[in-house]
Chain A
Amino acid sequence: MKFRGLLALAAGGTLLAGCAATASDTNSASTAAPAKSNAANGPAFPSTYAAYPSMPTAVTGVTIYDGEGGRIDNGTVLMVNGKISSVGGPDTVIPSGATIIDGAGKYVTPGIIDVHSHLGDYPTPSVAAHSDGNEATSPVTPEVWAEHSVWPHDPGFSRALANGGITALQILPGSANLFGGRSVTLKNVPARTVQAMKFPGAPYGMKMACGENPKRVYGGRNRMPSTRMGNLALNRQTWIDAQEYRSKRNDAKPPKRDLGKETLVGVLDGDILVHNHCYRADELAQIIDMSKEFGYKVTAFHHAVESYKIADILAKEGICSAVWADWWGFKMEAYDAIPENAALLQQAGACVIIHSDDENQIQRLNQEAAKALADGRAMGIEISDAEAIRWITLNPAKAMGIDTMTGSLKPGKMGDMVLWNGNPLSVYARPEKVWIDGALLFDSNDAKRRPVSDFELGQPGEGDVK
């Protein structure tokens, strides 16, 4: 396996690892239309996603983790018309004609959601021609949109579906820039166009980055920022300019459209969610104060390996931390990472998300959550199995502003669901079936019910189990 991202980073490159911001628990209103700030002529690049055909489907006798911290043993989940219809015990009514799947010995969870992915904008094969995640020509590029880089045929999408049970994911720009641009939230369905993957009704996010990456990339070119204080100065000036643009937009003679400022104003208006790559606790605190200075909210800090040092502050501020289970040591600002980060945050009442930022670990976010859970328990922090599942389902859905639509198994929500052949917190479990909007899009028992990207068609290993 290769760790392209960090290699690119170490090489002084562009990519790299993470930052995202999470949405706070309070930031759940997500059905807003995408960014009114670009609404002059209606939404730009609208989603064309439509649910694939589905059958009424019930899974019976199964252990259910509902994504909200609940667990039902010997349960039944019913999906009708692409939606979760009912979730309950053995007495759950199943309409005649429904496909019934015996879930004895198996588990269901909501579809797994990754709040931090570069599938599509740093796709495999990781050749230079595919390096589309960082517009590393200026440290302030709020005008770029990740969806304009996403290659729908990245084979990583299919692995995330088949091995990871990923049904929705946020694709972020990279972290070379202070303001990296807009994210895009996708349904993990194979498609010809990115528009056909766009999650309908998902709000936009904006990627920001603090710390080593921006100052390294631009300082190395003898331009600002070359220091952390340079990072903050450029950030603040950018917000000041955005505030001015915002104040003039209703003038008799409004300013000329400015793509970057439209995104920034979207943040200031609360329509676009801030996902802020940031590692060190002291820097997280600086970013929080900056957000207060300009009146916006950080939805989630991504990577946030030192969140545990200020877990109490993050809980009070209602900011999520999107973290790895145990990555550490690959750069200076990741030196104090500890595997108990997630559990310590949970203990403090802060919002926890396990994210990947990686085309490999997106295939086993369930295992990463399980490790973080185990390390917490080993230090005496009591967290239920069902709560750990929330870290990879409802909590990322909240941070992406889609939690009213997906992220848990509640009636009326999208039929995004994974049937696991064992406990997903065990290393021995794998997805058996994955539904998106009730449509069966992966079935480990059916070689045809596995997507093969255009890139892999006609190549060695086409259609393999991978």
Chain B
Amino acid sequence: MNRLAWLLASAAALIAAPLAAQTIAITGGKLVIGDGSAPIEGGTVLIRGDRVVAAGANIAIPADARRIDASGKWVTPGVFAGFSRVGLVEVGAVTQTNDMNASGSPFSAALDVQYAINPFASAVAVNRAAGVTRAVVSPSTANSIFGGYGAIVDLGEDDNPITRARAFQFVELGETGQSRAGGSRSASHIHFRALLEEARTYARNPAVFDSDLLKASDAKALLPVINGGTKLLVHVESANDILKVLDLRKDFPALKIVLVGANEGWRVANHIAAAGVPVLASALSDLPYGFEDLAATQSNIGRMKDAGVKVAIGMINDRDAHQLRYSVQYAGNLVALNQVPRATGLSWDEAFAAISSGPAEIMDMGGQLGSLKAGRQADVVIWTGDPLELSTQVESVIIDGVDQSLSNRQMRLRDRYRDPAPGALPNAYDH
């Protein structure tokens, strides 16, 4: 092979490497499957290509597997941020880099975050380095109660972040919805019902559709919500608003509702459980931020779980574009609650599930994501210790079976200023 051909072949091999069906065995670590089961000492995760082949004790390791020794470490599925805005924002207050909502757009439900999510955003790299591998990404709202389509993403360093586009529609029906609809919950609920009725009108004869309320694009976007083909993530906090949302299914029985926030969910947990509606909840909200949050408590998630509600942790309006890495700290805090008299937390196993398989299952993707059970996408993190503990660091991250870089701007700045005084040349030459 001449030199040029060799170079080309090498380059091709490099490019193809992540796509080849590489087999990886991560052995010897404390293995967390992520489905709420107890950790397994000295477990093995076997990955082939982009999938988990097997995980547990006594897994046979093929001879050709690349072995990663995780002895003394913890091995878990990647953290799945149950509600976020990652990739939609570079700098929050710099409007040109903030794509969470579109206050100047005539569209609402048709807006689609898949076009706005930037896999190269700093926050993707920062949170990947902290062990976050998947996220629910939701738009926020501006001129309507509807925010548009959200997506499920991975935080890999490749150029395609979208795991599932149009995974859900987002709507505000609490205090924010009241404001968006014109200043009353009577308005937000009639708004909701009227828009869905308009969408049905559109469906009957798109060619002649003409509505004062709704553009055809938005009507089209709401149709799969009405028939249950697309989930509806509803942000509400108060007990009463939650009950009113559960009632929507009397008029629209096929709605597949997921409650988001639900700070007072514990007060009506039996109703939520009976309705079979899952919840992506804030973990540590415990103040009356508004009158919709009067009964907020950190015990909310634990109490809802005990009542039979399917619940996982989300970052609802809580540094949701930049700090998905708080998920582990929040889960750890819920474990801590079990040692507080009269508080209700989660067991460690439940808490980790609330940031891994829990969000995946709530988004109906538990068969593909969120745990290390056979067949799931191979999102694996190796930690120096208990992943919920504050002193623990991430050692390595694998997404879709591919080793990920942990480098990011923050690390580069850290290293440049390890010794801040300039040396023979200014700091700018240190790179």
Contact = CB atoms under 8 A, between A and B. Distances in A.
| Nearest 5 Cβ contacts at the A-B interface | A461-B295, A427-B332, A331-B93, A460-B295, A370-B390
Interface stretch (B70-78, B184-192, B337-345): B337-345
Interface in B270-310: 282-291, 293-299
Nearest to B296: A461
Contacts of A163: 286, 298
B154 interface: no
Contacts of A98: none
Interface string A313-346: 0000000000000111111100111111000100
B172 interface: no
B322 interface: yes
Contact of B413 (A336, A370, A447, A460): A336
Contacts of B342: 447, 465
B322 A328 contact: yes
27 contacts: A1-B283, A1-B284, A3-B319, A7-B317, A10-B92, A125-B293, A163-B286, A308-B414, A308-B417, A327-B319, A327-B323, A331-B92, A332-B93, A337-B410, A340-B414, A344-B414, A360-B285, A370-B390, A374-B392, A422-B339, A427-B390, A428-B339, A428-B389, A430-B336, A461-B267, A461-B296, A466-B287
A426 B389 contact: yes
A232 interface: no
A163 B296 CA distance: 14
B404 interface: no
Given A339-B410, A461-B295, A427 B287 contact: no
A269 interface: no
A72 B99 CA distance: 52
Interface of A: 1-4, 6-7, 9-10, 124-127, 155-156, 159, 163, 212, 308-312, 326-332, 335-340, 344, 348, 359-360, 363-364, 367, 370-371, 373-374, 377-379, 421-422, 425-430, 444-445, 447, 455-456, 459-461, 464-466
Nearest to B122: A329
Nearest to B237: A2
Contact of B318 (A2, A156, A379, A429): A2
A125 B291 CA distance: 7
B251 to A, nearest CB: 28
B104 interface: no
Nearest to A460: B295
Nearest to B319: A3
Given A4-B289, A308-B413, A465-B298, 12 more contacts: A3-B319, A124-B287, A125-B290, A308-B417, A336-B413, A338-B413, A428-B335, A455-B288, A460-B267, A460-B294, A460-B295, A466-B286
Nearest to A376: B414
B316 interface: yes
A459 B90 CA distance: 40
A159 B287 CA distance: 8
A353 B109 CA distance: 45
Nearest to A450: B342
B26 interface: no
A445 B339 CA distance: 11
A370 B390 CA distance: 6
Contacts of A379: 414, 418
Nearest to A367: B390
B92 A6 contact: yes
Contact of B420 (A125, A155, A309, A466): A309
Contacts of A338: 410-411, 413-414
B299 A465 contact: yes
A6 B85 CA distance: 15
Nearest to B326: A326
A277 B94 CA distance: 20
Interface in B191-224: none
A2 to B, nearest CB: 5
Nearest to A216: B93
Contact of B329 (A6, A367, A445, A461): A367
Contacts of B343: 465
A364 B333 contact: yes
Interface in B373-396: 388-393
Nearest to B393: A378
Contact of B391 (A155, A425, A456): A425
Contacts of A367: 329, 333, 390
Contact of B322 (A2, A329, A360, A427): A329
A460 B297 CA distance: 11
A421 B335 CA distance: 13
A310 B422 CA distance: 10
B281 to A, nearest CB: 10
Nearest to B328: A427
Contact of A371 (B90, B293, B335, B390): B390
A124 B296 CA distance: 12
B420 A310 contact: yes
B97 to A, nearest CB: 9
Contacts of A126: 289-290
A444 B417 contact: no
A466 B93 contact: no
Contact of B94 (A9, A332, A373): A332
B123 interface: yes
B264 interface: yes
B315 to A, nearest CB: 8
B93 A10 contact: yes
A127 B290 contact: yes
A427 B389 contact: yes
Nearest to B94: A332
A402 to B, nearest CB: 26
